[in-house]
Structure 1
Amino acid sequence: MKKYDFLIVGSGLFGSVFAHEMTKMGKKCLVIEKRDHKGGNVYCESVEGINVHKYGPHIFHTNDKGIWDYVNSFVEFNNFIYSPLANYQGQLFNLPFNMNTFYQLWKIGNPKEVEKKIKEQIEKENITAPQNLEDQAISMVGADIYNVFIKGYTEKQWGRKAKELPKFIIKRLPVRFTYDNNYFNDTYQGIPIGGYNKLIDGLLDGIEVRTGVDFFKDRNELIQITDRVVFTGKLDEFYDYKFGHLQYRSLRFEHKYLNLPNYQGVAGINFTDLNVPYTRIIEHKHFEFGKQKGTVITKEYPQEWSLGSEAFYPINDRMNMERLGVYQRLAKKEEKVIFGGRLAEYKYYDMHQVIASALSKVKKIIQADTMP
């Protein structure tokens, strides 16, 4: 008999939710984590009493009351509303695109006139069959909005000219004809009071967790002590990259403590000008309405992914999706390995989607295990 029912590789949201739910069902779980801390990319580091989102800002938002109640059962969430700004050549604009933005851009305060202006710009370009991201964006919102808010930011984010990027990257560009700066449309939104570590600690309470453990260095020994493996790392790495690498965009974070109470007055400012090398500045204390004497800011620099660097955004182009299909066919043949999470599924997930996916996976496994 094996020592553990499940070995869970990765202590991010998927792994932590899976471990929690299976432990509730009486299963014995071991969670291992390559980093020196739990929590994956939602991990927060405390700096002078400020919870710093070490791997980029995480704002929890969902329309699913069940998921909202689930996370609040571990830690109470505050009522933070994400209302970022855009900085273009020193000018500030509200996001997402709404009547505040359009008044700042054109000095037009009438929704009907704004709609008319956008429609005129779209018709002027006359793009009937968009061939790339630039065509797609202009055909949806016109040249002004594209040039000020989309072009530079997107080219920095992806490291490619907009004309070289596939049009499917931009599926929709929400435009609001109301004065509403709430970035998300979801019913429920907030940040855990005290940071995301409290959520992870709640999920993993009473469960054995080992940090600083590299699954691939101790793979043979680890699989001997468990019935099944739950793998939340990179799918191609699990198979030793035998069919080549799945590609990602990566990020570099430049964190800085400042001895002043308020740096920019808002949690996030996007820098949409191509001449500014970073895409945004985050001021972490605003997520929890902090009153500390100092503040921590983070500049976020997109960069090419290379082996050994953190993988953030999957590049879902044709080549990578074909390669993914080959790996997924291998994964389906695994009887003792369960794959889940954004890296194992090569899919960009919001947090509530990761949690829902883990809960769904647990339910299916329990049902399969109890079938006669």
Structure 2
Amino acid sequence: MYDYLIVGAGLFGSVFAYEATKKGKKCLVIDKRNHIGGNVYNEKKEGINVHKYGAHIFHTNNEQIWNYVNGFVEFNRYTHSPVANYKGEIYNLPFNMNTFNKLWGVVTPKEAKEKIEEQKGRVGINNPTNLEEQAISLVGTDIYEKLIKGYTEKQWGRSAKDLPAFIIKRLPVRFTYDNNYFNDKYQGIPIGGYNVIIEKMLEKSDVRLEVDYFDKKEEFEGIAHKTVYTGMIDQYYDYIYGVLEYRSLKFETNVVEDTDNFQGNTIVNYTDRDTPYTRIIEHKHFEYGTQEKTIISKEYPIEWKKCNEPYYPINNQQNNETYRKYKELADGEQNVIFGGRLANYNYYDMHQVIGAALVAIEKEFGDK
């Protein structure tokens, strides 16, 4: 009846469906949510595209991927420049000369480097064994205490001393006055939101929403020649090797009636430990909105349970070993293609998901 059953209408599934239908294949796309797009879905409120599942900024150095997404929609010139709020003190992110000047009054890169080295030397960490030691060895104690410790402990729900060092090994530090968070050549937000892209990708596929694959697995087993599965890999195998762990998020989204500009920036991170949320997103700034009202979302990290959405895989040694067992099973499947962040138990940026889907298409069809 179908060539492909695609479980999940997020980026991976949508790209696969689009490319497969271009090749004349018939696809059925199902999703347990009541909308397409997965976590990149935008919900329209008060004329504002709300990033329902957290901020999604498209960025990449891959020209092929950039041209690919621009084939569906035009992107604006949005540049991601978040700020940090530590008990009312505002600092630029990522850590750069503006941050160092606000912290210490230094003006030159030489002064900033000397200040960081002085603090690192005072602590004397030679072989970092946890996240706290790793962060201090990179940026010193002041930045760690004000801008890393509280935010990270809220994000992961654990003491920084109990988190592995590798989480923060690639901490971005710049000795220039540059507030652009990403180093990528291409960056922006699709004009009209990500829904525009997904709708175009799925327009030639059959789509069924509010359908849980596992509630009707027997029904779907014979409906297509192959399955593209983008859900949790441990759930696919009924958790036979155990449950993979994630961190989840809770969003508190509100329309602000009495102002058209709540915080003056798209994203403000709250880096103290006492503020319960990690950041506030003001959605209209993604697309330079001029609406009379504004909409904000407070983002609360929470422990993941099976009833929550899994956002961030906890890639510690135990979970990675469990995932490898599931991957061995997946690699042995002849008629199932696994893809996306949940099926691969890995946190991906959007361009990486699209690239992986295109690789899967190339592997599946080759020169056929």
Band the TM-score falls in, shorter-chain normalisation: over 0.9
Which residue number in structure 1 is paired with residue 345 of structure 2?
Answer: 346
Whole-angstrom distance in 1 between the partners of 2:338 and 2:142:
43
Partner of 1:253: 251
CA contact (8 A) 1:81 1:182 kept: yes
The equivalent of 2:161 in structure 1 is 163
Instruction: Give matches, 1:205-220, under 5 Å.
Output: 205-220=203-218
RMSD of Structure 2 on Structure 1 (CA): 0.8
Aligned AA for 2:339? Answer: G
Query: Deviation digits for residues 105-155 of structure 1, max 9, x if unmatched?
Result: 111111111111111111111101111110111111111111111000000
In the TM superposition, what is the alpha-carbon distance from 1:203 to its structure 2 partner? 1.0
Task: Tell me the distance in 1 between the aligned counterparts of 2:175 and 2:325.
Answer: 44
Identity of aligned residues (%): 61
Structure-1-length-normalised TM-score: 0.98
Aligned partner of 1:335 in structure 2 is 334
Amino acid at match of 1:351: M
Counterparts in 2 of 1:114-133, with a 5 A limit? 114-133=112-131
Match of 1:265 in 2: 264
| CA deviation string 1:308-356 (max 9, x = no partner) | 1100000001110111011111111111100000000000000000000
Q: How do 1:39-58 residues align onto structure 2 when only pairs under 5 Å count? A: 39-58=37-56
Residue 203 of structure 1: SS of its match in structure 2? helix
Q: Secondary structure at the match of 1:355?
A: helix
Contact between 1:75 and 1:202, CA under 8 Å: does it hold in 2? no
> 3-state DSSP class of the match of 2:99?
helix
Inter-partner Cα distance in structure 2 for 1:202 and 1:117: 52
Which has the higher mean CA deviation after the structures are superposed, 281-290 or 64-73? 64-73
Deviations 1:227-284 (A, max 9, x none): 0000000000001111110000000000000112110010000000001000000000
For residue 84 of structure 2, give the secondary structure of its aligned residue in structure 1: strand
C-alpha distance in structure 1 between counterparts of 2:200 and 2:117, whole Å: 50
Quick one: which amino acid aligns to residue 299 of structure 1?
K
Which deviates more from structure 2 when the two are superposed, residues 120-129 or residues 355-364?
120-129
Q: How many residues align?
A: 367
Counterpart position of 1:316: 315
Partner of 1:17: 15
Give the secondary-structure state (helix, strand or coil) at the position aligned to 2:143. Answer: helix
Partner of 1:45, secondary structure, is strand
Would the aligned equivalents of 2:282 and 2:295 in 1 still touch at CA under 8 Å? yes
**Maintained 8 Å contact 2:128/2:165:** yes
- Partner residue of 2:286? 287
Of 222, 226, 230 in structure 1, the residue corresponding to residue 228 of structure 2 is 230
- Give the 3-state SS of the residue equivalent to 2:239 in structure 1: coil
Q: Is the 8 A contact 2:251 2:297 kept in 1?
A: yes
Aligned to 1:150: 148
Task: State the match for 1:173 in structure 2.
Answer: 171
The answer to whether the 8 A contact 2:12-2:357 is kept is: yes
Alpha-carbon shift at residue 19 of structure 1 (Å): 0.3
Deviation digits for residues 50-100 of structure 1 (CA, Å, limit 9, x no counterpart): 000000000000001111111011011100001010000110011110111
Q: Does 1:84 align with 2:76?
A: no
Q: Structure 2 residue aligned with 1:243, among 235, 241, 244?
A: 241
CA distance in 1, matches of 2:67, 2:170: 29
TM-score by length of 2: 0.99
Structure 2 Cα separation of the partners of residues 358 and 281 of structure 1: 31
Q: Secondary structure at the match of 1:142?
A: helix
Secondary structure in 1 matching 2:110: helix
SS in 1 for 2:161: helix
- Tell me how far apart the structure 1 counterparts of residues 89 and 34 of structure 2 sit (CA, whole Å): 41
Verify: 1:275 aligned to 2:274, yes or no.
yes
In structure 2, the residue matched to 1:67 is 65
Following the alignment from structure 1 to structure 2, what is the Cα–Cα distance between the partners of residues 173 and 221? 47
- Provide the secondary structure at the position in 2 that maps to 1:221: helix
